A and B are shown apart, each in its own frame.
Chain A
Amino acid sequence: MSALEFLLAGTLAAALPLMLAALGEMVVEKTGLLNLGLEGMMAIGAAIAFICVYHSGSHSLGFLAAALVSTALALIFAFLVIVVQANQVAAGLAVGVLGLGLSALFGKTYESLTISGLQEIGFPALSQIPVIGPTVMTQDIVVWLTLIGTVALWYVLNKTKLGLIIAAVGENADAARAIGYPVGLIRTVAVAFGGAMCGLAGAYASTVYTPLWADGMIAGRGWIALALVVFGTWRTGRVVFGAMLFGVLSLGELTAQAVGVAIPSQVLASLPYVVTILMLVAISRHQRHVS
């Protein structure tokens, strides 16, 4: 496989954990909250999914369990921030540290074990096209489902009343409360959704993308996903595009080394963060109020 084909085939898969986690966090931030615990929620999802798939052999079960456990963790955040009214930076970090620790604790005896990944499915007809057919158009089922889910999410956020309510809660919680919307409930559901998405992201990372569990395997992808939400300026399409861009960058490190491009890999690795800072500066006028 040439470097280009490798990139074409691998980009979506590399982007998927970032995309799932970032889309979840995007919804959380749209309701006016900021959950910094992505890394931990992804890690616990990855560990739980691996353990489930290892024992049951069923990826569906693994993804489901991961989503549930990460949601439970996210609900701790929701409880602390919404009910107890604790500082959300501290609460997010607490949940993140807790998730990272628990994932290592539960996953410890599963390190160096292996499971099988998922079979790739060609998109009907389109997978026959030369070059992009066997690469871009041949992906595992999770990629296809995620792409469908993304369109659904875009629809809900932009074309339905629910999307408008979410935006209202985020932009002016007091006004939304005055109209009679259950602000706390909507935020709780959003945080739970964000948690579930992080769980799925972790599950994909540990049971499909690289079917193994290792402590620290999320390796900063939670932070990149957090950056992605800003990069995508809280818009579904841009977040998806950003995920693919950052996904290519993560592969680009490998390809750059293989091809022998004279850029230090550290420069490529820090690009997402540099770009995110630049985005934060650029969008300052439309800055969402993170309180």
Chain B
Amino acid sequence: MKLRMIRRDAASRMAMFGAPVLALLLTCLTSLILFAALGIPAGKALHALLLKPFLSWYSFAEILLKMAPLLLIAQGLAIGFRANVFNIGAEGQFIIGAICASAFPVYYPEGNFPAMLPAMILAGGLGGMAYASIAAGLRTRFGASEILVTLMLSLIAVQILNYLLLGPWKDPRGFNFPQSVRFPENAQLPLLFENVRPNVSLLFALIGSLFAYLMMERHFRGYQLRTAGLAPKAALYAGFSAPRMIWLSLALGGIAAGIAGASEVAGPLGQLQRSVSSGYGYAAIIVAYVGGLRPLGIIASSFLISVLYIGGDSATVSAGLPVAAVEVFQGMLLAFYLLTFTLIRFRLQIERGVPA
């Protein structure tokens, strides 16, 4: 007798919605046990982590603020992941986007530059795209793995950021802190609501989601990308250019991450800082996968991960939960999702006797 995994022809709709929910439940259960074992009041921690963010308008608004960059980056990455192009360097593209956008307010600190904000956002997107294109060029021209190249580029981007903030871009009146000047008023994105911090970058993210949906689910280009990911040989046979898929995937991922980076400095930060990203580029990979790489799923998963961030902040105060618990929660969520996702793609079959 032998267990075999048989690939399903089509994933059942139930399983597609069920997998992330089941993964979330398993994650909650496991973290309850883990927190209890570490002597953290587990019930209280989970309450703070998952419910408290919804109990005030301010903290709910903070979720939306956090969600904007995660959603935008994850939509860009998911396009590539579905085409089997693994851009895991969104962190670097985000940082380069933030740097390119910051150039305007850094060199025009009085704000005397026409169309400051559009220029910043555009520069951020183009910067992120250019940085991701390095990986596309090396992959298509030399066959260098985009996984490793984008990763290395991220680590280099951190050093470029450090160089700028410790050197030429350091605020001369910033008490030697590694940060740029405070941006002028016209270099800051308009807020969506009064008194809370979400800004129009949330709209960028939603527009990006709509674009991703239309392209991936409704347009021929999306069909080509999906085919390249699911059946590379069929894509080749159909005459879909593999290099073009790689360029497109990386360029779109880079634009999304770059705009997210630009929005961060022009949004809640209001200046370029060393901690500009705080790991958005890596968290977005988790968001993309837990969202099933589908545009609509990613809207839900980016919301969920943002809840965890904001809830994690409140749990450190109210339940003594270490900041790292959020990371543990994220890691478990992705691991459990990858496990439950199998239930979508495969069914188990018990086989008797010797297989032919």
Task: Name A residues whose Cβ lies closer than 8 Å to a Cβ of B.
Answer: 34, 36, 40, 76, 80, 84-87, 89-91, 93-106, 108, 215, 220, 223, 226-227, 230, 264, 266-267, 269-270, 273-274, 276-277, 280-281, 284-285, 287, 290
Query: Known contacts being A97-B286, A223-B151, A280-B142, is A104 close to B327, with CB within 8 Å?
Result: yes
Are the CB atoms of A105 and B325 closer together than 8 Å?
A: yes
Would you list which residues of chain B between 215 and 235 have a CB under 8 Å from chain A? none
Provide the B276-296 mask, 1 if CB < 8 A to any CB of A, else 0: 000000100110010000000
For A220, what are the chain B residues with a Cβ–Cβ distance below 8 Å? 155
Are the CB atoms of A104 and B323 closer together than 8 Å?
A: yes
Are the CB atoms of B328 and A101 closer together than 8 Å?
A: yes
Binds A, one of B68-76, B188-196, B334-342: B334-342
For B167, what are the chain A residues with a Cβ–Cβ distance below 8 Å? 264
Q: What's the nearest-Cβ distance from chain A to residue B7, in Å? A: 10
B304 at the interface (CB under 8 A from A): no
Please report the C-alpha to C-alpha distance between residue A285 and residue B331 in the assembled complex, in whole angstroms.
35
Q: Interface of chain B, helix or strand or loop or mixed? A: helix
For B160, what are the chain A residues with a Cβ–Cβ distance below 8 Å? 266, 270
Provide the B333-351 mask, 1 if CB < 8 A to any CB of A, else 0: 0110011011000100000
Q: How many residues of B contact A (CB 8 A)?
A: 47
Query: Known contacts being A98-B332, A264-B163, is A108 close to B322, with CB within 8 Å?
Result: yes
Are the CB atoms of A98 and B339 closer together than 8 Å?
A: no
B153 at the interface (CB under 8 A from A): yes
For B330, what are the chain A residues with a Cβ–Cβ distance below 8 Å? 97, 101
B147 at the interface (CB under 8 A from A): yes
A84: contacting residue among B159, B282, B338, CB under 8 A: B338
Task: Name B residues whose Cβ lies closer than 8 Å to a Cβ of A.
Answer: 5, 34, 38, 81, 86, 88, 138, 142-145, 147-149, 151-153, 155-156, 159-160, 162-163, 166-167, 282, 285-286, 289, 322-332, 334-335, 338-339, 341-342, 346
Are the CB atoms of A290 and B145 closer together than 8 Å?
A: yes
Please report the C-alpha to C-alpha distance between residue A227 and residue B152 in the assembled complex, in whole angstroms.
8
Are the CB atoms of B331 and A95 closer together than 8 Å?
A: yes
For B149, what are the chain A residues with a Cβ–Cβ distance below 8 Å? 277, 280
Q: What's the nearest-Cβ distance from chain A to residue B146, in Å? A: 10
8 residue pairs from A and B, CB less than 8 Å apart: A84-B338, A89-B88, A93-B286, A105-B328, A264-B163, A280-B149, A290-B145, A290-B147
Q: A264-B167, A277-B153, A281-B138 given. 10 additional CB < 8 A pairs?
A: A80-B338, A91-B335, A91-B338, A105-B324, A105-B325, A226-B148, A264-B163, A267-B159, A284-B143, A284-B144
Are the CB atoms of B341 and A105 closer together than 8 Å?
A: no
Please report the C-alpha to C-alpha distance between residue A166 and residue B330 in the assembled complex, in whole angstroms.
33
Please report the C-alpha to C-alpha distance between residue A274 and residue B160 in the assembled complex, in whole angstroms.
12
For B153, what are the chain A residues with a Cβ–Cβ distance below 8 Å? 273, 277
For A102, what are the chain B residues with a Cβ–Cβ distance below 8 Å? 324, 328, 331
Are the CB atoms of A101 and B138 closer together than 8 Å?
A: no
For B81, what are the chain A residues with a Cβ–Cβ distance below 8 Å? 87
Please report the C-alpha to C-alpha distance between residue A189 and residue B5 in the assembled complex, in whole angstroms.
22
For A104, what are the chain B residues with a Cβ–Cβ distance below 8 Å? 322-324, 327
Are the CB atoms of A93 and B342 closer together than 8 Å?
A: no
For B325, what are the chain A residues with a Cβ–Cβ distance below 8 Å? 101, 105
Are the CB atoms of A276 and B335 closer together than 8 Å?
A: no
Most buried by A among B143, B148, B322: B148
Q: What's the nearest-Cβ distance from chain B to residue A77, in Å? A: 9
Please report the C-alpha to C-alpha distance between residue A230 and residue B152 in the assembled complex, in whole angstroms.
11
Are the CB atoms of B324 and A100 closer together than 8 Å?
A: yes
4 shortest interchain CB distances as A-B pairs: A98-B331, A101-B327, A104-B324, A101-B328
Q: What's the nearest-Cβ distance from chain B to residue A124, in Å? A: 41
Are the CB atoms of B148 and A280 closer together than 8 Å?
A: yes
Are the CB atoms of A101 and B331 closer together than 8 Å?
A: yes
Are the CB atoms of B156 and A270 closer together than 8 Å?
A: yes
Please report the C-alpha to C-alpha distance between residue A85 and residue B144 in the assembled complex, in whole angstroms.
24
Name which residue of chain A comes closest to B161, CB basis. Answer: A266
Please report the C-alpha to C-alpha distance between residue A96 and residue B286 in the assembled complex, in whole angstroms.
12
For A276, what are the chain B residues with a Cβ–Cβ distance below 8 Å? 148, 152
Q: What's the nearest-Cβ distance from chain A to residue B3, in Å? A: 10
Query: Known contacts being A34-B147, A102-B328, A104-B327, is A274 close to B338, with CB within 8 Å?
Result: no
Query: Known contacts being A95-B335, A215-B324, is A277 close to B286, with CB within 8 Å?
Result: no
Please report the C-alpha to C-alpha distance between residue A269 and residue B88 in the assembled complex, in whole angstroms.
20
Are the CB atoms of A269 and B142 closer together than 8 Å?
A: no
Are the CB atoms of A76 and B327 closer together than 8 Å?
A: no
Are the CB atoms of A89 and B286 closer together than 8 Å?
A: no
For B145, what are the chain A residues with a Cβ–Cβ distance below 8 Å? 280, 287, 290
Are the CB atoms of A80 and B159 closer together than 8 Å?
A: no
Please report the C-alpha to C-alpha distance between residue A84 and residue B324 in the assembled complex, in whole angstroms.
27
Are the CB atoms of B88 and A226 closer together than 8 Å?
A: no
Are the CB atoms of B159 and A270 closer together than 8 Å?
A: yes
Name which residue of chain A comes closest to B87, CB basis. Answer: A89
B152: contacting residue among A84, A94, A266, A277, CB under 8 A: A277
A284: contacting residue among B5, B142, B331, B334, CB under 8 A: B142
Query: Known contacts being A105-B325, A215-B324, is A94 close to B331, with CB within 8 Å?
Result: yes
Are the CB atoms of B339 and A86 closer together than 8 Å?
A: yes
